[in-house]
Amino acid sequence: MSLKEASFCRSRTWRRLARRIAPWATQGVPLTGNVLELGGGSGTMAEAILRTDPQVRVTVTDIDPAMVRAAQERFVGCPRATVHRADATRLPYDDESFDTVASFLMLHHVLEWETAVTEAARVLRPDGLFVGYDLVASRPASWVHRIDGSAYRLIEQATLEPVLARAGLDVLAVRYAFFGLVVRFVARKR
């Protein structure tokens, strides 16, 4: 994640947006039980998830130590949230550990995003949900990431569905938004 992206993830603007983006990103599907957020940054989206249900518990992961520290600071004294440093392509959790795995605007930062999808499926319980949204390969998305200098590999349109299927996930919804620049997805583990 670039410095500009990291700053935005900690901003007041992002905190306000996250409250609205979370239900949009999950397409109205309630996130329940034990939720794992991949690449959760400073924990803003996890905070929005925690507000939806008093029973939900969230584990926030990120590979960036600065983001992990920011999320840990956010959740001091919150027993329903834990934060770990973790690589989305090699998650340190047992098989079938989570009811839901969420990925909000993160997969494109993982050069091997297909492996991250496979890992998400591995840690999901049967009938668990993998939900989220991400950028689709486009000129505007490429320009933004070239300018800020962050590593990325954007998802080509129509490539997410086969990857989800190979990982053992049944696609419940894949919707493209904002003129095809963003993809939202919900998949269930078989």
Distance, CA of 66 to chain centre: 17
Query: What is the sign of the dihedral through the CA atoms of 187, 185, 107 and 9?
Result: negative
Q: Taking the model in full, what pTM does it have?
A: 0.91
The percent of residues above 90 in pLDDT, for the chain, comes to 77
> Residue 172 half-sphere exposure, CB side, CA atoms within 13 Å?
16
pLDDT digits (tens, 9 = 90+) for 120-152: 999 999 999 999 999 999 988 888 777 777 778
DSSP 70-118: HHHHHTTT-TTEEEEE-BTTB--S-TT-EEEEEEES-GGG-TTHHHHHH
Give mean pLDDT, residues 35-46: 95
Q: Is the pLDDT of residue 16 over 70?
A: no
Residue 182 confidence (pLDDT) above 70: yes
> pLDDT tens digits for 64-100?
999 999 999 999 999 999 999 999 999 999 999 999 9
How many Å apart are CA 11 and CA 43, to the nearest integer? Answer: 12
Task: Report the candidate in 26, 66, 28 with the shortest Cα–Cα distance to residue 46.
Answer: 26
